[in-house]
């Protein structure tokens, strides 16, 4: 029997839980709830930001940790060596994330926001902050390669510590000068970025690894994957929804108070996600990476670490700055767009990769 692309999405969606199946609806409701909370509860932002972890509001930090732990507990760490041997995947990911991605965002920021220096700078910062958190959720929902995602996220984390400050200086001070454009210096602490990575990747990664090792030794892989993982799996999406509510509650006034500015910033962001995801997907297909790793390559290249971008923009330019607003608009656009791309990826699964990829 021939399986067409029209059969794939209903078949995959039909196997999802109710929480997974209606995720776009839950995310939309979470965003709306956050925006309403931010507007209706006076002083909520000050309460939520009273305590920070890794430079980020403690409630958001806890949401991110809860969100990432179940997915990293699903990773089969004994298979990571097969990923690290795939040089096509590793090299492609590094080039897309640290050369193509920042350059594309720089170009789009100047094309669409040439007369809005603060928004332009904020978008460039978003482009420099490569994703190490939510991409794990999108990859998992799109049935990407979980082990490859873990490796690429870890690789991005290392490069984030080493390259973020240097690239910020290059794209905001050096390159504009070479091109005869006005720039703005970015002063970022490498230690702060390292702490951010250590907290939001290191803690759930160690917890996930230890959970698998201890669980498999105590009860075996069959029990761990068939009984334990299904129980903790929904926790990741609860953490995602909680994070979205808190994030938008913190920035609700900034978003709802400047609707035209939000639209202005959204245009280059939409172009960025479309270019990076489709270009990465096409590259993976051309390299013969297969559906799972092509999907992983696309999502890890298109996603951004908006938590880091917001923290850097606020710490450098202030909470009421245009740079901070640009960082806040990032997840407003990224979350629904990447959720939609999960369904696009599933729809392309049979059409581009054939019947075998449905196994």
| Residue 253 lies inside a defined structural domain of this protein | no
**Domain-located, residue 1:** no
Does residue 115 carry a pLDDT above 80? Answer: yes
Distances (CA, A) of 119 to 278, 311, 325, 328: 25, 15, 7, 11
pLDDT tens for each residue of 8-44: 455 545 555 566 667 778 878 988 898 888 888 877 7
The DSSP secondary structure of 288-351, one letter per residue, reads T-HHHHHHHHHHHHH-B-HHHHHHHHHHHH-TTSHHHHHHHHHHHHHHHHHHHHHHHHHHHHHH
Q: Of residues 2 and 210, which shows the higher confidence score?
A: 210
Indicate the number of domains in the chain. Answer: 1
Quickly state the pLDDT bin for 5 (edges 50, 70, 90). very low
Determine the pLDDT at residue 205.
83
Tell me, what CATH number does 147's domain have?
A: 1.20.1530.20
72 within domain boundaries? yes
Q: Is 336 a member of any domain? A: yes
Residue 88 or residue 161, greater confidence: 88
Domain membership of residue 162 as a residue range:
54-237+258-353
44 falls within a domain: no
Q: Judge whether 76 lies within some domain.
A: yes
- Give yes or no for residue 315 having a pLDDT over 80: no
Which of 155-164, 335-344, 346-355 is predicted most confidently? Answer: 335-344
CA distance 105 to 101: 6
d(CA 109, CA 116): 9
Note whether residue 139 is domain-resident: yes
Alpha carbons within 13 A on the beta-carbon side of 155: 23
Give 215-263 pLDDT, tens digit per residue: 999 999 999 988 998 898 888 888 878 887 887 787 777 777 778 888 9
Domain assignment of residue 64, yes or no = yes
Read off the pLDDT of residues 128-159 as tens digits, 9 standing for 90 and up.
988 776 788 889 889 999 899 988 988 887 78
């Amino acid at each position: 029997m021939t399986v067409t692309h029209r059969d794939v999405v209903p078949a995959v969606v039909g196997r999802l839980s109710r929480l997974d199946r209606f995720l776009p609806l839950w995310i939309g409701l979470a965003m709306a709830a956050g925006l309403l909370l931010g507007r209706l509860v006076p002083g909520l932002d000050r309460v939520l930001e009273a305590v920070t972890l890794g430079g980020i509001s403690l409630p958001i930090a806890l949401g991110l940790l809860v969100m990432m732990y179940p997915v990293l507990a699903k990773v089969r760490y004994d298979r990571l060596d097969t990923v690290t041997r795939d040089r096509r995947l590793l090299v492609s990911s590094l080039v897309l994330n640290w050369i193509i991605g920042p350059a594309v965002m720089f170009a789009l920021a100047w094309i669409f926001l040439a007369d809005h220096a603060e928004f332009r700078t904020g978008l460039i910062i978003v482009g420099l902050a490569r994703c190490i958190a939510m991409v794990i959720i999108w990859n998992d929902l799109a049935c990407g390669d979980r082990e490859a995602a873990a490796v690429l996220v870890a690789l991005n984390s290392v490069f984030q510590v080493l390259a973020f400050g240097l690239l910020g200086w290059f794209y905001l001070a050096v390159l504009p000068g070479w091109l005869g454009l006005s720039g703005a210096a970015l002063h970022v602490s490498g230690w702060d970025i390292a702490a951010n990575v250590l907290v939001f990747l290191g803690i759930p990664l160690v917890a996930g690894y230890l959970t698998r090792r201890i669980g498999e030794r105590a009860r075996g892989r069959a029990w761990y994957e068939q009984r334990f993982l299904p129980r903790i799996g929904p926790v990741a999406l609860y953490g995602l929804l909680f994070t979205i509510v808190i994030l938008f509650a913190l920035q609700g006034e900034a978003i709802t108070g400047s609707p035209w500015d939000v639209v202005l910033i959204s245009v280059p962001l939409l172009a960025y996600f479309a270019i990076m995801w489709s270009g990465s997907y096409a590259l993976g297909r051309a390299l013969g990476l297969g559906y799972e790793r092509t999907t992983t390559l696309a999502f890890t290249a298109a996603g951004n670490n908006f938590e880091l971008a917001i923290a850097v923009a606020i710490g450098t330019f202030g909470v009421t700055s245009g740079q901070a607003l640009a960082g806040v608009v990032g997840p407003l656009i990224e979350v629904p767009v990447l959720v939609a791309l999960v369904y696009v990826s599933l729809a392309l699964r049979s059409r581009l990769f054939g019947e075998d990829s449905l196994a």
